[in-house]
Amino acid sequence: MPALPDRLTQVTCYALASDPTICVKILNASLACCTLELQAAIASGEFVETDDASCDRQVTVLVVAGTVTDALVPRVMELIKSHPGAKVMSFGACATSGGPYWDSPPVSKGIDQFVEVASYVSGCPPRPEAFIQAVRVLAQIGTQA
């Protein structure tokens, strides 16, 4: 397999607008429609780009957003393995269970079959608020918005 290009493996560091001492590094494995809600959440103002040095606490979140086909699993695994310590978030129905495509032969019925998932988010797609909530849970700062 050729190496994944840099633009797909970039991790961007954000401070949370509601809790600026906490930084969240987000890597968006943007596979399908759920990506758009993720990007809407990031563009909402809750996530402020910052550099590493300004963080008291940090959490790296690798978001699998979208349908994972069996053919794509090796790539997703490669992405996950290249960020050890990252918390994997299964964002949306497809990543969690195959979603509406559970009956389709090429679709994986949930990424938790091959990787440990720290957080599952229900939705098709989940709302941006759900992503923000999930990040807060992973950063262990409570769920008060």
Partner 1 sequence: MKHSFIALIEDKCTSCMLCVRECPAWCITLDSHTVEVTEEGARRPRKVNVLDSFEIDYSLCMYCGVCIDVCPFDALAWDEHRALVTADREDMLLGIVELRPSDSS
Partner 2 sequence: MKQEFTWHKVDAGQWFTTIGEQRDAGFTYFDFLTGVDRESLDPDKSDSQLQVEVIAHLAKPDLSDSIFVHTCVSEELDSITDLFQAASWHERECAEMYGIAFTGGDSRSLLRHETLSRSPLRKSTVLAARVLIPWPGGAEPQIKEDGRKAGNSSRRRQRPPGVPENWLKS
Positions touching partner 1 (CB under 8 A) are: 93, 96-100, 102, 110, 112, 117-127, 129-130, 133-134, 137
* Tokens found for residue 68: 């994972």
Query: From CA 85, how far away is CA 4, in angstroms rounded?
Result: 19
Q: Binding of partner 2 at residue 103 (CB under 8 A)?
A: yes
Q: Which of 52, 105, 143, 144 binds partner 2 (CB under 8 A)?
A: 105
11 contacts 83 by C-beta, under 8 angstroms: yes
| Phi–psi pair at 57, nearest 5 degrees | -120, 145
User: In this complex, which beta carbon is closest to partner 2, that of residue 56 or of residue 70?
Assistant: 70
From 55-63, 74-82, 104-112, 137-145, span contacting partner 2 (CB under 8 A): 104-112
Whether cis (ω within 30° of 0) applies to the bond prior to 125 is yes
What phi, psi does 13 have (nearest 5°)? -95, 125
| Least CB distance to partner 1 at residue 8 (A) | 25
Interface with partner 2 includes 102 (CB under 8 A)? yes
129: partner contacted, choices partner 1, partner 2, none (Cβ within 5-8 A by kind) = partner 1
Per partner kind, with CB cut-offs from 5 to 8 A, the member of partner 1, partner 2, none near residue 104 is partner 2
Is position 1 an interface residue for partner 2 (rule: CB under 8 A)? Answer: no
For partner 1, the closer of residues 102 and 114 by Cβ is: 102
* H or E element at residue 88: strand 87-91
Q: Extract the tokens encoding 56.
A: 């008291």
- Residue 31 has which token pair? 């596979």
> What single DSSP character describes residue 2?
P
* Closer of 52 and 140 to partner 1 (Cβ): 140
